[in-house]
């Protein structure tokens, strides 16, 4: 299994901040001694990376000591900020190589939470919403196509919503759990593989995007899929692991080639000498960069659930939900449940934020007492906006403010978009018409769905 999270024993002071943050007790060691990551337990969420306080800096330790660590981590020479003991393994050099190769067709996608995080690394207020600058910047770096993971967040809702309706109406395995958080999926596979049949078979938006870019995207861009190098920018460190899973190659190639974090994207901008402030806002490329408000709220806890309900209502009743702001599923409490009237059906839903809260839920599923149809699980404290790959904050009050502002910025973005339901996205209608045919159909099953370790369908799939 690939290494994603490491703790540098030369830098770790044993303050144990990482231990407090880890939702799965994967960090081991004595106080005031270097800690280690137990990879059998680690779900690669990177919360330790966010909380780590031990570092090397040019100012405190000198240029030579700093340069040595930077080289060990294969980071560009333009990186000058402190390097912390807990860190994710960087794949930035692979991206730089691909951008420099004229024979490579480079495509980049950015997750919903990136647009509310990236500006912080350029000194803008915490939670600044910057989709236009983000798109402009990625284009300026030299990517051939600048797409948006929000497009496939909308696609995920079409697939997952349809799957949920099938399970509810045809006595399928319930509750159905969301599958777009790879750290949560890794947790189930490592600890409770017998429950993986409860996971939605949908790939995450990132992986759906990768599969679409090298099939439908290759066709519309008239490019050989073998020449495509697909990069995704994620607020999440575990996405690096997800893209490397052996089953994530249904396009006939590696669906996503490399994942970099929001922080690493900032490194890349600085390496390319781009001034964030002076950028003029631009749009993402179409059609695979078109999105609705539903796609954008995937970045907050409860957002996948809310997006699914906006479309699920339509799938079940054939009518449109008038008030799309579904307040009962919003909030940041660790465990929330709600009952939503959908036509004749009372849909019972749950939202779990922070994997530390999953224990009782797992027990209830095993005992057969969890009376819910659909459950969203996000590993990080407030969902993807608080992911392990987001800009790093040191002060506790900054962390609280950043999470609040990033959340609010995504809800504001949802409100200002002309369309707020995934099934209203014209580019989504188009991809079904021209290529995928129908949600949960044969073609979308092959490209957009997967199986997990322990699930009955894991025919030689699953990772090792």
Q: Is 15 a catalytic residue?
A: no
Q: Is 93 a catalytic residue?
A: no
Tokens (6 digits) for 382:
């407030």
The one catalytic residue among 200, 230, 251, 422: 200
pTM confidence score:
0.96
pLDDT of residue 462: 40
The one catalytic residue among 239, 270, 392, 421: 239
Q: Which CATH class is domain 1-89?
A: alpha beta
Q: What is the pLDDT of residues 124-175, one digit of tens each?
A: 999 999 999 999 999 999 999 999 999 999 999 999 999 999 999 999 999 9
Q: Is 72 a catalytic residue?
A: no
pLDDT of residue 290: 96
Q: Is 236 a catalytic residue?
A: no
Instruction: Provide the percentage of residues in the chain whose pLDDT is more than 70.
Output: 98
The pLDDT confidence band at residue 453, using thresholds 50, 70 and 90, is confident
Q: Calculate helix-pair angle for 92-100, 262-271, nearest 10 degrees.
A: 40
The one catalytic residue among 247, 264, 306, 376: 247
The pLDDT confidence band at residue 457, using thresholds 50, 70 and 90, is low
Q: What is the pLDDT of residues 99-116, one digit of tens each?
A: 999 999 999 999 999 999
Q: Is 242 a catalytic residue?
A: yes
Q: What is the pLDDT of residues 225-282, one digit of tens each?
A: 999 999 999 999 999 999 999 999 999 999 999 999 999 999 999 999 999 989 999 9
Q: Is 140 a catalytic residue?
A: no
pLDDT of residue 1: 66
**Average pLDDT taken over every residue of the chain:** 95
The pLDDT confidence band at residue 2, using thresholds 50, 70 and 90, is confident
Domain boundaries along the sequence of the chain: 1-89, 146-448
Q: What is the pLDDT of residues 362-396, one digit of tens each?
A: 999 999 999 999 999 999 999 999 999 999 999 99
The one catalytic residue among 163, 189, 264, 382: 163
Q: Is 202 a catalytic residue?
A: no
Is pLDDT of 67 > 60? yes
The one catalytic residue among 22, 42, 45, 180: 180
Is pLDDT of 459 > 60? no
Q: Is 434 a catalytic residue?
A: no
pLDDT of residue 454: 76
CATH code assigned to 146-448:
3.40.950.10
pLDDT of residue 291: 97
pLDDT of residue 184: 98
């Amino acid at each position: 299994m690939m290494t994603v999270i490491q703790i540098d024993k030369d830098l770790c002071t044993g303050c144990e901040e990482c231990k407090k943050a880890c939702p799965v007790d994967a960090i081991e060691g004595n106080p005031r001694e270097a800690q280690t990551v137990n990879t059998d337990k680690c779900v690669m969420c990177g919360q330790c990376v966010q909380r780590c306080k031990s570092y090397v800096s040019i100012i405190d330790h000198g240029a030579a000591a700093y340069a040595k660590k930077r080289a060990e981590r294969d980071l560009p020479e333009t990186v000058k900020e402190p390097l912390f003991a807990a860190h994710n393994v960087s794949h930035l050099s692979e991206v730089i190589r691909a951008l420099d190769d004229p024979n490579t067709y480079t495509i980049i996608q950015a997750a919903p939470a990136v647009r509310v995080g990236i500006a912080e690394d350029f000194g803008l207020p915490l939670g600044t919403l910057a989709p236009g600058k983000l798109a402009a910047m990625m284009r300026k770096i030299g990517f051939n196509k600048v797409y948006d993971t929000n497009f496939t967040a909308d696609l995920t809702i079409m697939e997952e919503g349809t799957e949920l309706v099938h399970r509810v109406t045809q006595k399928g395995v319930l509750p159905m759990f969301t599958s777009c958080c790879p750290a949560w999926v890794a947790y189930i596979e490592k600890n409770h593989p017998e429950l993986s049949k409860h996971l939605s078979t949908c790939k995450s938006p990132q992986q759906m995007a990768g599969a679409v870019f090298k099939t439908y995207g290759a066709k519309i861009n008239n490019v050989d899929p073998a020449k495509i190098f697909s990069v995704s920018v994620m607020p999440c460190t575990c996405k690096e692991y997800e893209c490397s899973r052996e089953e994530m190659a249904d396009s006939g190639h590696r669906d996503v080639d490399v994942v970099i974090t929001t922080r690493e994207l900032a490194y890349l901008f600085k390496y390319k000498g781009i001034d964030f402030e002076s950028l003029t806002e631009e749009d993402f490329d179409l059609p695979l960069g078109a999105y609705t408000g539903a796609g954008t709220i995937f970045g907050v806890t409860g957002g996948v659930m809310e997006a699914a309900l906006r479309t699920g209502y339509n799938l079940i009743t054939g009518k449109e939900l008038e008030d799309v702001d579904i307040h009962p599923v919003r909030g940041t409490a660790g465990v929330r449940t709600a009952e939503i009237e959908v036509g004749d059906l009372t849909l019972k839903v749950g939202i779990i934020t922070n994997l530390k809260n999953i224990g009782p839920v797992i027990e209830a599923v095993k005992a057969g007492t969890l009376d819910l149809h659909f459950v969203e699980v996000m590993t990080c404290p407030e969902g993807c906006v608080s992911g392990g790959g987001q800009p790093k904050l040191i002060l506790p009050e900054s962390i609280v403010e950043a999470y609040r502002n990033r959340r609010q910025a995504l809800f504001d973005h949802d409100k200002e978009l002309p369309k707020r339901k995934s099934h209203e996205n014209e580019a989504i209608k188009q991809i079904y018409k021209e290529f995928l045919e129908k949600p949960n159909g044969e073609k979308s099953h092959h490209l957009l769905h997967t199986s997990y370790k322990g699930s009955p369908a894991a025919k030689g799939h699953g990772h090792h």
